[in-house]
């Protein structure tokens, strides 16, 4: 856990001073009263809180698993998390990347309603793709874990541990 905390903090400690020194150069030419800068300043604390929580949850998972679960469960939790994040990483990020230029264009032209319409369409598409795949991966968790990981030292016991950990990680998100 401490290794992950240090590994997450070191880049911030390196990048933050550089960003603070560059901030006047980054904002040169922009009015400090630009409406988008005000919006960024307003939302930044919430974004930082959401990012901090999303980075802290895996640390908490591992800390609790290492204290309270029998041997092998912490590894099973890590393998299960890889599979649990796969549908979002493959489809959610791809969808967001393809919609981003359209978002930027609509926002730049002041079409807030069009922006909301595309956002709603993107969320519906993501849910239509990710939810059925997630349900399928939950239902077929043992065969799926077996097909992806079971070879070499990753034996049938490791498959069962990972499939049960996968069920727990999936059940908490649905």
Question: Which range among 10-14, 31-35, 147-151 has the greatest average pLDDT?
Answer: 147-151
Q: Which residue has the higher pLDDT, 108 or 170?
A: 108
Residue 134 contacts residue 45 (beta carbons within 8 Å): no
Asked if residue 160 has pLDDT above 50, the reply is yes
pLDDT digits (tens, 9 = 90+) for 61-80: 777 766 666 667 777 777 88
Residue 34 structure tokens = 């630009």
- pLDDT reported for residue 113: 92
- pLDDT reported for residue 174: 42
Q: What is the CA radius of gyration of the chain?
A: 21
Residues 71, 75, 79, 84: what is their CA dihedral angle, to the nearest 10 degrees? 70
Residue 142 contacts residue 164 (beta carbons within 8 Å): no
Which residues, 6 or more positions from 80, have their beta carbon under 8 angstroms from its beta carbon? Answer: 145, 162, 163, 165, 166, 168, 169
Residue 23 contacts residue 41 (beta carbons within 8 Å): no
Q: What is the mean pLDDT of the chain?
A: 77
- pLDDT reported for residue 32: 59
pLDDT digits (tens, 9 = 90+) for 88-119: 888 888 888 888 889 889 988 889 899 889 98
């Amino acid at each position: 856990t401490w290794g992950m905390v240090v590994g997450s903090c070191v880049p911030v400690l390196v990048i933050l001073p550089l960003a603070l020194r560059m901030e006047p150069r980054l904002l040169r030419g922009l009015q400090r009263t630009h409406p988008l800068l005000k919006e960024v300043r307003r939302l930044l604390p919430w974004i930082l809180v959401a990012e901090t929580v999303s980075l802290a949850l895996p640390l908490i998972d591992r800390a609790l698993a290492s204290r309270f679960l029998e041997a092998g469960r912490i590894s099973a939790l890590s393998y299960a998390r890889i599979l649990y994040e796969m549908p979002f990483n493959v489809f959610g990020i791809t969808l967001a990347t393809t919609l981003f230029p359209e978002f930027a264009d609509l926002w730049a032209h002041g079409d807030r309603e069009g922006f909301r319409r595309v956002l709603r369409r993107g969320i519906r598409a993501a849910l239509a793709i990710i939810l059925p795949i997630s349900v399928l991966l939950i239902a077929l968790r043992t065969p799926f874990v077996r097909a992806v990981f079971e070879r070499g030292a990753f034996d049938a016991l490791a498959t069962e541990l990972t499939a049960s950990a996968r069920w727990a990680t999936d059940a908490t998100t649905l």
